[in-house]
Amino acid sequence: MADRRRGTRRRWTGPGPVVALVMLLVSACATPREPADVAARDIQRTLDRRAAAVVSRDEAAYLAPLDPAATRLRAAEREEFRNLAQVPLRSWEYRLTGLDRTGTGRATARVELRYRLAEYDEVPVKVAERLDLTRRDGRWYVAAERPPERGGARLWEQGEVTAVRGERSLVLGVGQDTELLRSMARTADRAVPAAGRAWPGRWSRRLVVLVPASLDGMGALLGAPAAGYRGIAAVTTGSAGGPGAASSADRVIVNPEAYGLLGDFGRRIVLTHEATHVATRAHTSAATPMWLSEGFADWAAYRGTGRTAGQAAPELQRSVRAADVPAALPADKDFGFAGDAGALARAYEGGWLACELIAREWGEERLTAFYRAVGGHGRREGAVEKAMHEVLETTPEDFTVRWREYLRSRLA
């Protein structure tokens, strides 16, 4: 810069060029806008430091990447970090998937949070996030977190998490009595081998159960209106797969209000049903109809309990005794949580008896083979027809006739 100024002075002819020269020097010496790739690199490093702090339980390091001016964010993040204290984490990472520069020293980042629970998750849970960032003194800081566009909240965002370990289960609860969580872990420990006897294939044989403080908390975890789950004791979340798919990080989410109304037997049925969904996840796909996935889970849950058909299917029994036998297997829409409770119960009961029919008439091995064949088809169209022909040597029309007769014989 000195050589350029000396050279310019030798050409000076008046005050006008001096002004132009000063403006030129200011422009040349000002810090240019940081290239996008450099900004992305620096932001990723900031996120990496924050992720490492979660796993190492270093609160100060976790808060350090937050904008010092974002006092409310810092308070919320401090509380969330402490809520995580009992959660057994194997890994926690942020992956920058997109970056929008919104002005000098400001950016919005699209981030994928990936985390795994120690000893339970074979693959990470993935959560899409959006972060507003600001640049101060050459460093990027997180200034705000935006709610995810899809998906639900995480349990530790709802309060301090209590963790209870069973032999085959991990129960994480917020606002729940520890003894209730221990009881739930014992029930889950019994549910896992029961599901394994019904589905002898390869699966994790472990359950992660999330228990929010309320029905509203359940809805928040699912990212759906809570009212639709009012009478549902639990649901299982996870990514449907297909043969060869990696095991997913399934979660059984409990509705504490509905679950609390059940006796010991009912709780056992609920968690065995959900454990069966975890067991069959890799072989459940878009081709699998709800009557098969839900019916198989109920068949596994009631298997060996000694319950009569009337005890397990009271709503459908009332219909059959009133000469109102369903004309067809339950459709997917019949399993909607927000509809009529009686119709929903009949859908589940009809699916269960369809699977029980296959197990009795064709054998349990054929039932599991049929389930795998349907899920392995890849698309809904033709999946059931093909599997019935190849595995059961029948047709959907013939099977429906036999199923309707089976309802009459079991429930009349």
pLDDT in tens, 6-32: 333 333 334 443 333 333 333 333 334
- Which of 73, 183, 163, 185 lies closest to 118 in space, CA to CA? 163
Predicted confidence at residue 33, as pLDDT, reads 52
Query: CA of 127: how far to CAs of 114, 116, 151, 389, in Å?
Result: 7, 12, 8, 41
Q: What is the pLDDT of residues 379-402, one digit of tens each?
A: 999 999 999 999 999 999 999 999
> What mean pLDDT value characterizes the chain?
89
Enclosing H/E stretch for 99: strand 89-103
Helices (H), 159-285: 178-198, 215-222, 256-260, 264-280
| pLDDT at residue 378 in the model | 83
To the nearest 10°, the Cα dihedral for 331, 334, 337, 339?
150
Give the domains, in start order, of the chain with CATH numbers. 36-150 (3.10.450.50), 153-279 (3.30.2010.30), 285-412 (no CATH)
Name residue, tokens 């058909």: 309
- Cα separation, 233 vs 255, in Å, equals 5
Tens digits of per-residue pLDDT, 239-296? Answer: 655 444 445 689 999 999 999 999 999 999 999 999 999 999 999 999 999 999 999 9
* CA pair distance 218, 260, nearest whole angstrom: 14
pLDDT at 238: 77
Position 35 confidence tier, pLDDT thresholds 50, 70, 90: low
- Give the β-pairing of 169-174 and 161-165: antiparallel
Give which of 364, 352, 366, 353 is closest to 394, Cα–Cα. 366
* Residue 207 contacts residue 275 (beta carbons within 8 Å): yes
Q: Which of 231, 237, 246 is nearest to 209 (CA)?
A: 237
Residue 36's pLDDT band (boundaries 50, 70, 90)?
Answer: low
| Token code pair at residue 73 | 């964010």
Task: Report whether 158 contacts 213 (CB < 8 A).
Answer: yes
Enter the pTM of the model.
0.87
Lowest mean pLDDT among 96-100, 101-105, 232-236, 260-264: 101-105
In this predicted model, what pLDDT tens digit does every residue of 152-183 receive, in sequence order? 789 999 999 999 999 999 999 999 999 999 99
